[in-house]
Amino acid sequence: MKAPDYDVIVIGGGPAGMMAAASAAERGASVLLLEKNPEPGRKLLLSGGGRCNFTNVEPDVHRLTARYGAAGKSLISPFSKMGPREVLEFFASRGMPHKVEDNGRAFPATNKAESVLKVLLAEMRTHGVKIRTGATVDALLVNGSIPANREVHGVRLGSTRITARTVITAAGGLAYPETGSTGDGFRWMQRCGHSIVHPEPSLVPVIVHEPWIAELQGLAFPEIRIAVLAGGRVLERVTGKILFTHFGLSGPGILNLASRIADAAASNPDKPVRISLDFFPEDDGGSLDRHLQQLFAAAPKRKLKNLLDELLPPRLTARILAAAVDTGTTSITDIASITGSSVPRQLRKRLVQLMQDFRVTYKGLQSEDWAIVSRGGIPCNEIDFRTMQSKLVSGLYAVGDMLDINRPSGGYSLQICWATGFVAGCAAAAQARSR
């Protein structure tokens, strides 16, 4: 029989696929990486707003895996081989120093996702990975019909067949499909007998009903308190960063809450779900009120709007004043003429309330096109996490966003890619040697 063309074929040139390909090649395997885009790493370059939050430096593996909910148990094994410490060391020893920001988020010192991609490309080059871009895989080649005897032996691209001893699928999930992750991998795995948990956007911006939200587009707040309310009851309260967009809210604080807000709306179909923003989480109502009184007393002749602009961005204070008018606390003509010395007590109290309980109404989640991560994919119990090999098809591996693992933002997604890619690369190289 003719020998297979390669020891390992990796489908997908994202972070998980590139790490898998480099690890397999470093262990002596002949490796072909197939990427349908003209170049690998398109999504990686967008990550972290172009800065790439490439891992989270949480040193305790159990505390780290707890961030992944039910899937955390499965990740203990891969994280014990390529945890955040090993990831930092991997990149540092290849000339990429890092810096750590709030909540343990690690970024390349250059602040450029490109630095991460450069290391991966150089690593693949050093170990002789053959990269073919513009190459769309259509199907997996699998022998055998009985699940336990099934074995992968290559891939098909149109009418071309390329054979291999092992295949690592790293084709991504369904989030942000313009980067190439269009769910192809889920279809192949399903054909092999895997059950795919229906993918849904998970780390995704939120659309709100209020049309005036567009006036606030681009305003960002580092740490504010966010509450989710239904029927006047607080369902969730977190602190985090937010960003106003032309349709609603984004930023890590909202992305991390998005699926819980959607769940709250689904379980309260007859009640509007509101998102309340507290722009002064350090102050209680009393201290903010005192602060306003001092501000007004210190500049009795200045216009109210100008005074508020010292505390919050002018576009937001304009909206807060408009909301005060809407609730009948004052009138438009009055508001323009009010100065520090003439702010009525009732209006001041209402301003304090709006600064600490600024509400918008949830309309829906943005589509997958906007999602950082989608939940869903291959269930963890169908993969052996000691090797990342499929439990149904011998020689077939799955890594990165193909797996059904929900996680927050903060470097946790790419940490999965490095760990699962590394483990799969090592295991596939070893299996190819024994076949």
Ligand X SMILES: Cc1cc2nc3c(=O)[nH]c(=O)nc-3n(C[C@H](O)[C@H](O)[C@H](O)COP(=O)(O)OP(=O)(O)OC[C@H]3O[C@@H](n4cnc5c(N)ncnc54)[C@H](O)[C@@H]3O)c2cc1C
Binding site for ligand X (CB under 6 A): 11-17, 34-37, 42-44, 46-48, 52-53, 136-137, 170-172, 175-176, 179-181, 184, 372-373, 400-401, 411-414, 417
- Closest contact distance (angstroms) between CB of 416 and ligand X is 7
CB of 267 to ligand X, least distance (A): 28
Pairing of strands 197-203, 373-377: antiparallel
Q: Is the dihedral of CA 403, 406, 412, 413 positive or negative?
A: positive
| Closer residue to ligand X in complex, CB, 4/41 | 41
CB of 358 to ligand X, least distance (A): 26
User: Minimum CB separation from ligand X for residue 400, in Å?
Assistant: 2
Nearest CB to ligand X, comparing residues 123 and 184? 184
Handedness of CA 408, 412, 414, 417 (dihedral sign): negative
H-helix or E-strand containing 298?
helix 285-298
Q: How near is the Cβ of 12 to ligand X at its closest, in Å?
A: 3
Read off the DSSP letter of residue 391.
S
The three-state secondary structure class of 229 is: strand
CB of 409 to ligand X, least distance (A): 7
Nearer to ligand X, 137 or 308 (CB): 137
For residue 114, give every residue at least 6 positions away whose Cβ sits within 8 Å of its Cβ, in sequence order, or none.
45
Proportion of the chain in helix, strand, coil states, percent, rounded to 5: 45, 25, 30
- Cβ proximity of 431 and 166 under 8 Å: yes
Shortest Cβ 155–ligand X spacing (Å): 8
Q: How far is residue 363's CA from residue 83's CA, in Å, rounded to a whole number? A: 38
Nearer to ligand X, 47 or 330 (CB): 47
Closest to ligand X by CB, 406 vs 413, is 413
Question: Cα separation of 246 and 8, whole Å?
Answer: 45
Burial class (CB in 10 A: 0-12, 13-18, 19+), 420: buried
Rounded to an integer, what distance in angstroms lies between the CA atom of residue 249 and that of residue 213?
9
- The smaller minimum CB distance to ligand X, of residues 52 and 343, is found at 52
CB contact burial 339-356 (16+ within 10 A = b; e otherwise): bbeebeeebbebbbbbbb
Query: What radius of gyration, in Å, describes the C-alpha atoms of the chain?
Result: 26
CA distance 426 to 23: 6
The phi and psi torsions of 213 (rounded to 5 degrees) equal -55, -30
Nearer to ligand X, 331 or 367 (CB): 367
Q: What is the DSSP code (8-state) at residue 195?
A: P
Minimum CB separation of residue 407 from ligand X in Å reads 8
Nearer to ligand X, 162 or 352 (CB): 162
Strand partners, 233: 230
Task: Please report how close the Cβ of residue 272 comes to ligand X at its closest, in angstroms.
Answer: 29
